[in-house]
Chain A
């Protein structure tokens, strides 16, 4: 074997394997060094049978190695076959301990003694080789481990899991099946975890399945004992095993010793790289997690691309054909030119790196519109955001007069109000001239907002101004609102938080922009709810107008955001705008009358409180049954089963009742659906009429069912085919009309999928539970209609 190579690849993770396979395929003299005795150690160490995702879904794979979403074992098999198939020159048990030299003349030290030469080096060692250690005395105990392959390997032990991330929670939950589990969290809560894991661990702690030490950190380890520092002093935890899942750091010392510069001194900082993944050392490339791309597919594409780059072949990024297709509406411009135009013209999208923008554009769509084309209409339930790359659009600000418009031009964006509030569109928007628009779906937009602070700031600033304009002062020249807008701030509240306290002396006005609030007053020693304020309404104007202390308490019903409008600025605006002032005074008088009415009929307040406690504060559409009309025929459930392939998504009898008002266990189609928050397959969508539904992309992971606070999503196997009526009648085959036929045992080869109410979005007559109710007991309502329920409260209360 020669000791001089054209390309040496260090690390056989997804990126390294892909690079080596490409080099082999190109017939390049190469070697792939792997520290352990098997390829792809990080994935090798995943929990057995772990389902590995292939995100981002839209990104195509460009590699000689195969990869698709599946269980760990299948992926590893495919890669091992790939190594043989391409005759990759891989050396196991070969740890590269030093890299010296420069392009064309690198010297690598293997296992501390042997040296090999290379013209180019690709470093794809990931970060998992550098797991964070406990860092306390005694951690050498052989039963301190940083990995868990198979939780069922351990039985009857007391195991301490240290860490609060997803890996720690997944390990802890997996171990509970056969062991006593204690989890140690340095913080007061599990903030970093995915929503599904968060619910799982909090549930397990509450039900005492797992014991948790919060705000505790390890001090030292003795065999069979872990000593913790807790707020109450030192605590000793007896255990048979300690599993620490503390994440990983880039192996900085080794990388720096190769001469590579890092972007900052932060322990999590990444090496500086060029657009072709070349590090500050010419000829030394870094790909994969160490380059900042932890997703398998991205890493594999980079491995392929970097070899092509080294060989001087033109590199066509894997997503190029897709982007070309996306951009086909714009003729005569290359992908790069379009991307350039987007970043130059649209400030909102200018803060992304080119790679981020490519991924963002894969999820977005480009529209070319002509003057007068409707982009979306008022009351649509869509929630994508549009950016104007070139051209202009008109916003119809007055629903009664379509000629009253505000024009937005190149660089502006619109549609963010639907995204933020989770409610219907507030205005119709038409193209003003020939325009090019980028439409970005909710998920990609939320990713942008959460990952790029500058984008969030841009959105927030525009949103405040537009929300104040739309909901508070619709007929005022935007220029006059400058002072009000510039002094306004966004405040966030968790469910149950008090925003305004009765008796307080403050007179700011609050505009509810997402979530909802209840207004209550203390009467006769108890809180009586006076009214319900959904998003898009303001509250607090009473104190402003009367200059008296707050007359009521305002509380968030669910996680909510409000725009706080400064009292002084708002008063000055009212002084200048008598029309607005009289409008707000009229609204104030209405509210006063309404409050008096409710105080005289406290039942209706109780009903609001009941409905809010059932999560209707975040609902957009909910099934309510009037039990004084319901004859318990269960035709609603039968109709649901019949229109959904035999699986009812509704349980009529389950769920709470107040008076005769019953809230059955059925989807509320939340403004910001909890189920959507953590769907790896992006299978949960909102239809234009507001229905939240699960499409065929569902992979059956169950996250949504765990995330739903109302227990309305069920995991079920597909039902067997429905027999004909005669077959059922004469031969007793299968299930009869309206019978739930969800199989209880797993049918051969079947996979569970999530099922939930889709409000019969594909059925012309609307929800079949409602249309099949013979007596009119079942209706669906939206929050705006709550007041008409409470108005009839008196007649229904027992």
Chain B
């Protein structure tokens, strides 16, 4: 029925990528050039050419993804993108012949490794977070949670209207100074240390002892309402966190792959210019 992109078509692309890597290693080991292995031998050019084509093809994914109504499934492309992309680690490393230095060539190699690493995090995120998101939301949509929070705020205000000012003002803090989302770091953390609701909750809890007996019931009610609101807020913030985790790596993966493309072009031109 449902089938993950990782197991797509019985691991077809994992198999292809593995065969390609093993073949590259065998050729590399079998081939013994006069001096040490490097990108300038026929094996080196072969691996380099293969690697460059792979990079171009992998970057084509960005365009393919936006072509809708196609005959083939995007899922197959993603599966291939993942496994063939990972295989680049082997292909490109063998292409270097393990010669590294402070030069443009190694920069291109390094950029490639960072792009692949960010992609690897993407795979991890895609496997881990979707299920956590569903569990976190417990079958309720975000809009329903927002509606419920609005309802809780209304109730809190109503209860607070007959309470001493210091409590009423804390309720207003909860209503007016609670934010979802915010900076990237705050989204990724899934928490908000400055959350108005948390402050109001703590403040009212501290004041609970000092308000008169007449307000005791109302204070307990407020604490319970704010407690409920906090639970909903943490659900929302965790949802934002997961969503951010699912997306953050793309902000590295995509720009860096363009940097890689530039470095790759420079690498190829310089190699042939100084040939």
Contacts and interface: CB of A to CB of B under 8 A. Distances in A.
10 contacts: A624-B2, A628-B134, A632-B246, A639-B68, A643-B68, A737-B66, A763-B69, A765-B72, A771-B69, A771-B71
Interface string B121-132: 000011001110
Nearest to A763: B69
B72 A771 contact: yes
Those 10 A-B pairs whose CB atoms lie nearest each other, nearest first = A765-B71, A626-B2, A642-B68, A639-B68, A643-B69, A627-B134, A628-B131, A774-B78, A776-B75, A768-B69
A628 B7 CA distance: 14
A796 B3 CA distance: 12
A240 interface: no
Interface string A745-778: 0000000000000001001110010111111110
B231 interface: no
B132 to A, nearest CB: 9
B243 interface: yes
A333 interface: no
B144 to A, nearest CB: 10
Nearest to B132: A628
Contact of B1 (A628, A638, A662, A779): A779
A774 B75 contact: yes
Contacts of A696: none
A653 interface: yes
Interface stretch (A202-210, A378-386, A516-524, A785-793): A785-793
Contacts of B129: 631
Given A775-B75, A776-B2, 16 more contacts: A630-B130, A632-B130, A642-B68, A656-B139, A660-B130, A738-B68, A765-B71, A765-B73, A768-B68, A771-B73, A772-B65, A773-B74, A775-B78, A777-B2, A779-B1, A798-B135
A476 interface: no
Contacts of B69: 639, 642-643, 760, 763, 765, 768, 771
A629 interface: yes
Nearest to B66: A737
B8 interface: yes
A775 B134 contact: no
A632 B1 contact: no
A427 interface: no
Contacts of B70: 765, 768, 771-772
A374 B75 CA distance: 37
A629 B78 CA distance: 13
Contacts of B210: none
A666 to B, nearest CB: 15
Nearest to B129: A631
What secondary structure prevails in chain A residues at the interface with B? Answer: loop
Contacts of A788: 1
Interface of B: 1-5, 8, 65-66, 68-75, 77-78, 125-126, 129-131, 133-135, 139, 141-142, 243, 246
A773 B70 CA distance: 12
Contacts of A772: 65, 68, 70, 74
B116 to A, nearest CB: 18
Contacts of B75: 773-776
B65 A774 contact: yes
Contact of B243 (A632, A773, A777): A632
Contacts of B73: 765, 770-771, 773
B68 A789 contact: no
A635 interface: yes
Interface string A339-365: 000000000000000000000000000
Q: What is the interface residue range for chain A against chain B?
A: 35 or more
Contacts of A760: 69
A771 to B, nearest CB: 5
Interface string A130-169: 0000000000000000000000000000000000000000
B258 to A, nearest CB: 16
A737 B70 CA distance: 15
A660 B246 contact: no
A472 B75 CA distance: 41
A277 B99 CA distance: 102
B14 to A, nearest CB: 15
A280 interface: no
B90 to A, nearest CB: 24
Contacts of B246: 631-633
A642 B141 CA distance: 25
B133 A627 contact: yes
A631 B1 contact: no
A781 interface: yes
A654 B144 CA distance: 10
Contacts of A230: none
B2 to A, nearest CB: 4
Contact of B66 (A656, A738, A792): A738
A55 interface: no
Contacts of A614: none
A296 to B, nearest CB: 43
Contacts of B74: 635, 771-774
Instruction: Tell which of A624, A631, A635, A777 has the most Cβ of chain B within 10 Å.
Output: A631
A752 B243 CA distance: 35
Contact of B139 (A632, A657, A777): A657
Interface in A615-663: 624, 626-633, 635, 638-639, 642-643, 653-654, 656-658, 660, 662
B127 to A, nearest CB: 9
Contacts of A662: 134
B131 A774 contact: no
A768 B72 CA distance: 10
A643 B69 CA distance: 6
A648 to B, nearest CB: 11
Contacts of B78: 774-775
Given A638-B68, A775-B78, A785 B1 contact: yes
Instruction: Tell which of B4, B65, B74, B243 has the most Cβ of chain A within 10 Å.
Output: B74
A290 B146 CA distance: 59
B126 A775 contact: yes
Nearest to B141: A653
A243 B154 CA distance: 42
B130 A628 contact: yes
Nearest to B8: A776
A775 to B, nearest CB: 5
Contact of B4 (A624, A642, A764, A775): A775
A771 B77 CA distance: 11
A654 B68 contact: no
A631 B126 contact: yes
Contacts of A657: 134, 139
Interface in A653-683: 653-654, 656-658, 660, 662
A649 to B, nearest CB: 13
A796 B135 CA distance: 12
B5 A774 contact: yes
A576 B4 CA distance: 51
A627 B5 contact: no
A97 B219 CA distance: 82
Contacts of A796: 2
B141 A627 contact: no
A767 to B, nearest CB: 9
A638 B5 CA distance: 20
Contact of A629 (B4, B72, B125, B243): B4
Nearest to A625: B2
A792 B66 CA distance: 32
B1 A789 contact: yes
A638 B65 CA distance: 11
Contact of A635 (B4, B8, B65, B134): B65
Contacts of A768: 68-70
Contacts of A656: 139
A792 B68 contact: no
A781 B75 CA distance: 17
Contacts of A792: 1-2
Instruction: Tell which of B68, B73, B130, B243 has the most Cβ of chain A within 10 Å.
Output: B68
